[in-house]
Structure 1
């Protein structure tokens, strides 16, 4: 018998998975462009830094040492999250980013062939993780105005999915479900399904009139559900990776613990998240400044005749009228990194997270110049 190759050992379902696209490497863009300051707008990170309390918490931990494993349950952080949301700590699951909790949910809940319903365009891991374990994914398209199509969701949910991924606000469009729309989708979701409400960008959306408190809506449901949130976005902790889920009951958390790797959230991340959670003023200022830039950048893009989705997050979804791969490559040449969108029907769109005003101005000027000249 001939020896196996690495490729022959890989499960067929894994070989067929789309690769996650993190965006271009800033170092490679710096080498290509020759600029000293690369403007990275590809990963929806906060340009406003972390709370000073986070810096101090990390400093103290490094002083006392990190040679021991972290608390495997993250008890102190789970308790802090539970207290802030008025839920028992045993209903909180911690992850190496909320993406980790998404993965755990698919590993714990889905069997091969199970149906998952999500949105298009959408977060790629809402598709990749279910397919990784053999699940089937059905995507519900947005409306022409980038909003949630509640009627289309009703039709899709009638197919009886086992899991439903609902992002509010949505990535990549930034659109948000209103209270009434969320309640309608929840009501249409089969009670036999696990409803996953992904609120990675909820802090940015809360100032918007009509944005629902997902936990408040789901608390009234006698059904399995989980709300996912992260410290990577508004809290600025993307570099140390910590997110969490709040579940309908402790039994769901216990199931996730069975597939969770031990010590999946490191000690620096746990300490930093506790500190970040306590600094309400820093969070509020980050959200305020982000909101101002979202409005300013959106207005300027629309004034230049770009079609832009209404965003309740910290990024904008832009119809460039050109191939997104070409636009992104041209932006790389001037030291700017955005995410080129490639889902069918959205190949002319880019997603750009917001940076500091001076960086956003450079992005706006370069994008307008590139799209005005067109492909050569």
Structure 2
């Protein structure tokens, strides 16, 4: 495109990313809802907009990683508001650590098939794109897992959005939403079992933080002995009370990009929905995802001594400086995982993860937030 767009707009990111790859742009008939998808960058959805080229770019694009021109041996954090990884990251079944090594950062390496390798385009239309990738992943047990990944990304029309969420969309709200259908197939000649180790589908969404942005996580209330603890909150040390609040069956996490923190929730506790609200950009983001309360979920912690079969179905992350003052983003993340893929040869497992962005004034957004997440925006804004 010849037109110059202001940084922060979708048009700016489209121009910028067009210099990196031959992009796929999915768009609605009126071209207000658009999204950028890339085969070269592992079938990522880089970003989207609810208001056309001049509208705000809603995903996180990591310009400094692109501009460095450096390929990092550990991970290449190009960004992207939705990407597919496979887990587990750490633990007995890890696919990020070589067999037997200590699970520390120096030994941590993101598998290249979902870090730097190009994916195959199967088909593209105005509102849908499908990609595939064959992978060979050595796990911490020393087994080579052969995996075929199939990923379909579908831009949703407003009629489908209303149907999925059971709500009427006000004319005053801008909206863009898309579903990702993700499937893995066992291409080994042996079954993936607790003895061989296995993988899970891991979806990660990256968005811009702000001083006022809050992640909102509804959960099932009930007996700890039946449902497990509400959330794991000490991944990087316990989160201070002025950054994490538990009230009325909802967790609130401050996502200002200034303090590294993460929460994890099991499959019995999560309701399969979470969100983030940023009053500065007037963006309400909702994610929904498949969850199986009776399923086995993998532990992804960097500790092979922990039970590998007790893990999270949902995670939320707030970026922040490391001990040396460096920072990858800042960004915030909403994440979901599939159950463990204990599959026979040629058997498959699928996981659906959907992103909805609503942009508009708070009186219009608040009823949407209350219906979907159980809380109005005014309370979200003043929770801390």
TM over 0.5: no
Alignment TM class, shorter chain as reference? under 0.3
TM-score (norm 1): 0.26
Q: Per residue, is there more helix in 1 or in 2?
A: 1
Q: Per residue, is there more strand in 1 or in 2?
A: 2
Q: Which has the larger radius of gyration?
A: 1
Tell me which of the two structures has the higher relative contact order, counting C-alpha pairs closer than 8 angstroms and 6 or more residues apart. 1
TM-score (norm 2): 0.25
